[in-house]
């Protein structure tokens, strides 16, 4: 008996959630992309009986037609960025690979799909001097105890916004100066933090018990004892980064980018940085290997016999 398209998608989503340990947000994103694919198949006549879908009918010519549809800038749905289109193609490839492995299709029709060429954008970062200025004596009065602890931890560990919000009090080890972070796909990793972050966190912990009127387990909370939400932290970061930079991007991810770039600029091994960031693939971390003028000068001074002139 033929399965419906919904059945195929549902079994695939169950697979990536249970077997691949994908996060709920990722599963929802995959579901939305595949639902859009099926919607196009119905409207364009490739599927006539929705309850009995043979994905052999949704072959390479269909997939190319769909990619052309979402890539056409003159069509209503053709307003996706190259990055979004690449993500949708990646989802299709993963789905068709699953269908082929399960023998629901005779050939993996998606294997010939080509990703659009992405424009490489260097991540926005703050310089070491900008961060030292923000976290130093000059702006000390501008930062609350909570703000300073959050910014120091972001920069000292490179954790994501969602990871900081969900960080539990019992997952910080002040003796060893480490935190246990639950990242994407619920994967846990241990990340060390430095002396300045340690000082700022201990200062914050002196007031945490006073604020924690709701007895929550999260490390960070607002003055009313409520869990911090992304928009509030984003606003706080933007306000404070505005003190030291004119860059248009002022977000927690800028601190994550700065953490990774500064580590690599100072000689850290890229594989170690990959593990600290919680990246699954080394290629994701390689975006931080761009050569900054400061790094070029440092390499030149260390290696060239007449470098003292620089």
- Percentage helix, strand, coil for the chain under 3-state DSSP, each rounded to 5: 55, 5, 40
CB of 240 closer than 8 Å to CB of 148: no
Which position among 8, 160, 208, 262 bears the catalytic label? Answer: 160
Q: How many beta carbons lie within 10 A of that of residue 222, not counting itself?
A: 12
Active site annotation includes 8 = no
Q: How many beta carbons lie within 10 A of that of residue 162, not counting itself?
A: 15
Which position among 184, 226, 290, 298 bears the catalytic label? Answer: 184
Q: How many residues does this entry show for the chain?
A: 310
Which residues have C-beta within 8 Å of that of residue 35, sequence separation ≥ 6? 9
- Give the H or E element holding residue 38: helix 24-43
CA 53 to chain centroid, in Å, comes to 34
Hey, what are 39's tokens? 């919607």
Q: State how far the Cα of 158 lies from the Cα of 247, in Å rounded to an integer.
A: 19
Q: Which residues does residue 191 pair with via DSSP β-bridges, in sequence order?
A: 179
Q: State how far the Cα of 102 lies from the Cα of 96, in Å rounded to an integer.
A: 10
Active site annotation includes 256 = yes
CA 136 to chain centroid, in Å, comes to 28
| First CA to last CA distance, the chain | 75
Which position among 148, 208, 256, 262 bears the catalytic label? Answer: 256
Which position among 87, 253, 290, 298 bears the catalytic label? Answer: 253
Hey, what are 175's tokens? 């003796």
- Report, as residue numbers or ranges, the catalytic residues: 160, 184, 253, 256, 279, 288
């Amino acid at each position: 008996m033929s399965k419906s398209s919904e059945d195929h998608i549902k079994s695939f989503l169950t697979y990536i959630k249970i077997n691949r340990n994908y996060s709920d947000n990722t599963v929802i994103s995959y579901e939305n992309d595949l639902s859009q694919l099926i919607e196009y198949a119905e409207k364009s006549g490739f599927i006539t009986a929705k309850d009995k879908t043979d994905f052999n009918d949704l072959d390479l010519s269909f997939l190319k037609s769909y990619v052309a549809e979402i890539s056409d800038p003159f069509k209503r749905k053709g307003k996706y960025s190259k990055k979004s289109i690449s993500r949708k193609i990646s989802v299709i490839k993963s789905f068709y690979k699953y269908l082929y492995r399960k023998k629901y299709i005779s050939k993996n029709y998606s294997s010939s799909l080509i990703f659009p060429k992405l424009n490489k954008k260097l991540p926005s970062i703050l310089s070491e001097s900008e961060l030292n200025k923000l976290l130093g004596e000059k702006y000390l009065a501008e930062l609350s105890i909570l703000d300073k602890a959050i910014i120091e931890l972001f920069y000292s560990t490179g954790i994501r916004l969602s990871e900081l919000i969900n960080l539990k009090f019992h997952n910080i080890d002040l003796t060893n100066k480490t935190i246990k972070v639950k990242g994407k796909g619920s994967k846990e990793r241990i990340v060390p933090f430095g002396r300045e972050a340690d000082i700022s966190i201990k200062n914050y912990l002196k007031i945490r018990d006073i604020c924690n009127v709701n007895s929550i387990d999260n490390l960070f909370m607002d003055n009313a004892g409520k869990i911090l939400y992304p928009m509030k932290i984003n606003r706080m970061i933007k306000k404070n980064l505005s003190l030291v930079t004119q860059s248009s991007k002022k977000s927690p991810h800028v601190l994550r980018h700065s953490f990774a770039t500064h580590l690599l600029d100072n000689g850290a091994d890229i594989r170690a940085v990959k593990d600290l960031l919680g990246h699954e693939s080394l290629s994701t971390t390689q975006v931080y290997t761009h050569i900054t003028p400061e790094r070029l000068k440092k390499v030149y001074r260390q290696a060239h016999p007449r470098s003292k002139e620089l």
